[in-house]
Structure 1
C-alpha cells in the first residue's frame, strides 16, 4: 500500500461520524432533532386531543420530571461514570435506559408503595403523581447545584474521585432535597396541615423556588459563575452560590411576577388564574431555563470573543430575550393550536412546565448522553 493510500485511510478512520456542520448549522440541527423528538413523544403519549394515550398532565408529568432528575444523577453528579467509556450510540442508549428505569421506578415506589401509607402520595386522583413530581422541583436544585455551582464541594476538596465523589454528592443532594421538600412542599399536601400552618402556599413555593433555579442556571451556564466566581476558594464560591441563588432568586421572583401580571399575561387571564398567578414565574422561568441549556450546550455559549463582562451581558440579553419571546409565542399560539392544550382565555393558554420540561429531557438525552450523535460541529 502506498504512503498516500495509508494517509487517506488514516484520515478516513479519524473522521468523526455524522453530518459535518458549521456552528450555526450545528445549533439549528440540534434544535430540529430536539423539537422533532419532543413532538413525537407528545403526539404519542401526551396530546390531550389526538395523542394515542393522552397521559396529560398526569401520570406523564411525574415520570417526565423524575427522568430529568435521573439525568442530573447520571450526567452531572456521577459525571457519566461507567457510561462515558462506552462507544456511541451504545453509551447513550444504555444511559437512556437507566434514566427511564429510574424515572419510572422511583415515583412508582412512592405512589404505589409509600402512597398506601400516606394519602398525600396516593394514586387516587393522581394526587401522588403531583406530590412525587414536586420532589423534582426541589431536587433539581438540591442535586444539581452540588455538581456544578459548588463543584462537588466539600467532597472534591476531600480528594474524592468518581464514583465515590458522585455517591457523596447524591447523599448531599438527598439531604438538601429532603429538607427543602419537607419545609416548602409537603405541608401543603399533608392531611394533618392547614393553609395557615404552611410557610408559603404551594403556588408561591413553586414560583419562588423555580426563580431560584432560574438564577442558578443563569449564573452557572452563561455568566461563568459570576458573581460567585469573585470568591477565591472553592468553599467560598460554593457557599456564595448556594445562598446567593436563593437571595437573588427571591428578588427575581417578584420581578417576574410583576412582568407576568402587567405585561405578558392578559388582564382577563390574570383574573381567571387568581391566586395561582404566584406559580407563574415557574411557567416563564422554565422557558428561560430551556434557552439557557440550549445556548450553553448547543450554541457554544457564544459570544466568547468579547471581554468577560461583554460576553456575559450579551449572553444574558440573548438567552433571556429569546426565553421570554418563546413564552409569549407558546402561550398565544403554540400551546393551544399545535399541542392542543386548554385555553385559559381566548387567545391565551397552555401549561409550559409539561411541554418545556419534555424539551429539556430530550435536549439533555440527545446532547449529554448521545453527544449529539450524528451531528459534528466543524472546528473553527
Structure 2
C-alpha cells in the first residue's frame, strides 16, 4: 500500500491562462505607441519634418486601410499566410504603404492633370480628398460583403481564396463606384452645381452606414440579419443586411447628430454650422476603432453569457469607449498631444485622421503581425 499526498503540497500549482484583458491592454499600448511615433514622424503639424497634414496624409491613410480590407478581409491574407512572423507582417506593412502612396500620387498627379477635381494643387488639398472620398463607400460595400454576406455567393460556388477575394473586389467595385459618382464626387467637384448631398452630410450619413456594418457584422455576430436565413438561406441574409444597414445606418446618423451637438457644445455647434452633419462620422470612427480593436485584441468579449446579453454588453461597452475617446480626443489629445489646429470654438483636429490612423495600426499590428511579441500572453481559453 502506498501513500498519496495532496497535489497541492507536492506539485506546483497549475499555470493560470494569461488574462484576455492583459493581452488586450498590451496590444492597445503597442498600437498607441506606434501610432503616436509615426504620427510625429509623418503628420504632426509642429513636429513632423514634412508638410503632409492633413492632406495628402489622410488620403494615403484611407487608401491604406482599404488595401488592408482587400488583402485581409476579402482575400483573407491569401499568399501572405504562407509567411512566418515577422516576415508576414513586414510584407503586409510594405505592400500597404506602397499601394497607399502610389494610388494617392497617381490620382493627384496623373488623373489630376486631366480632371482638376483631383489635382494635387487644388486649394486646401481637396484634390487629394476628392480621390480618397471613394474609400468611404468602399468601407461600406467591401466590408459588408465579408462581415454580413460572408463572401456570398463566391463560397457557395465552391471558389477558394484568393479567387473568392478577387471576385469580390471586382464585382463590388461596380456599386461602390456608382455610389461614389452619384453621391461622393458631386459633393466635392468643381463643376457640380446641385449635388444630392453636401460633402458633410455624405460623410456623416454614409459613415453611419459603415458603423452599422461593423456593429452588426462583427460586434453583434451578424445579428439581426442572420435570423432571416443564416446558412440555410444566404440570399435572404444578403438582402436583409444590405437594406437593413442602410436603414440602421440612417437611424444612427439621425441619433448621432443631436448627440454630437451635446458633446461638442453649443458654441462649437454654432461655429461649425452645416459642418456639424459630418460629426456623426467623427464619433462613428471612434466607435469603429473600438469595435475593431475589441474584436481582434480583446476577443470580442463577453462570450460566456447568452447571445442577447453578450451582444448588448459588447455594443454598450464599445459605444461607451467611443464617447469617452471622442471627448478625450477633442478636449485634450488633439491640442496637447497631436498639435492639431482649431476647427471651431475650442475644438481641434479631425478624428477621421488620427482615429483612422489607430484603426490602420490595429489592422497592421494586431491582425497583420498577429500581435508579434505578445503572443505568449494570449489567453488560451476564449470564454469570458
TM norm structure 2: 0.91
Correspondence 1:41 to 2:38: yes
The residue that corresponds to 1:143 in the other structure is 142
1:99 maps to 2:99: no
Moved >4 Å (runs of 4+) = none
Report what 2:268 is aligned to: 269
* 1:180 aligned partner: 179
Contact 1:333 1:348 in 2 (8 A): no
Distance in 2, Cα, partners of 1:339 & 1:245? 33
- C-alpha distance in 2 between matches for 1:191 and 1:216: 31
For residues 332 and 345 of structure 2, the distance between their equivalents in structure 1, rounded to whole angstroms, comes to 10
Q: Cα distance, 1:189 vs. partner?
A: 2.6
Quote the offset at 1:121 in angstroms.
0.6
Residue 123 (1) aligns with residue 124 (2): no
Kindly indicate whether the alpha-carbon contact (under 8 Å) linking 1:143 and 1:172 is maintained by their aligned counterparts in 2: no
Q: 1:332-354 CA deviation, whole Å, 9 max, x = no partner? A: 11111111112345543221010
- The SS at the match of 2:99 is helix
Aligned position for 1:112? 109
1:266-305 correspondence runs (5 A): 266-305=265-304
Q: CA shift at 1:286, angstroms? A: 0.3
1:190-201 equivalence runs, <5 A: 190-194=189-193, 197-201=194-198
Match of residue 241 from structure 1: 241
Q: CA deviation at 1:191?
A: 3.3
Alignment of 1:271-350 (within 5 A): 271-345=270-344, 347-350=346-349
CA distance in 2, matches of 1:178, 1:110: 15
- State how far apart, in whole Å, the 2-side matches of 1:111 and 1:243 are: 34
- Match of residue 170 from structure 2: 171
Q: Which residue of 2 aligns with 1:61?
A: 58
Matched, 1:378 2:383: no
Equivalents in 2 of 1:51, 1:273: separation in Å? Answer: 28
Q: TM-score, normalising length from structure 1?
A: 0.92
Q: Is the 8 A contact 2:147 2:222 kept in 1?
A: no
User: Could you report, residue by residue, the CA deviation over 1:357-380 in whole angstroms, capped at 9, with x for unpaired residues?
Assistant: 100010100011111111120313
Q: What residue ranges of structure 2 are gaps of 5+ in the alignment?
A: 1-16
Aligned residues: 358
- On the 8 A contact 2:144/2:217 being kept in 1, the answer is no
Q: Residues 102-126 of structure 1, C-alpha deviation per residue, up to 9 Å, x if partnerless?
A: 1111222211111111111111132
Distance 1:257 1:236 in 2: 31
Residue 77 of structure 1, aligned match among 66, 74, 77: 74
Q: Does the CA-based 8 Å contact 1:218-1:292 persist in structure 2?
A: yes
Distance apart, 1:21 and its partner CA: 4.2
Question: CA offset at residue 168 of structure 1?
Answer: 0.4
* 2: CA distance, partners of 1:278 / 1:205: 9
Taking the aligned partners of 2:379 and 2:300, their CA distance within structure 1 comes to: 16
- Kindly state the Cα deviation for residue 164 of structure 1 after the two structures are TM-superposed: 1.2
Deviation at 1:276, TM superposition (A): 0.8
The change in CA–CA distance for 1:143 and 1:287 in structure 2 (over 3 A counts) is same
**Residue equivalent to 1:8:** none
Classify the secondary structure of the residue corresponding to 2:154.
coil
Report if aligned partners of 2:184, 2:199 keep a CA contact under 8 Å in 1: yes
CA distance in 1, matches of 2:87, 2:42: 25
The equivalent position to 1:219 in structure 2, one of 216, 220, 236, is 216
Match of 1:17 in 2: none
Local SS of the residue matching 1:124? coil
Q: Deviations over 1:77-113 (max 9, x none)?
A: 1110000011111111112111111111122221111
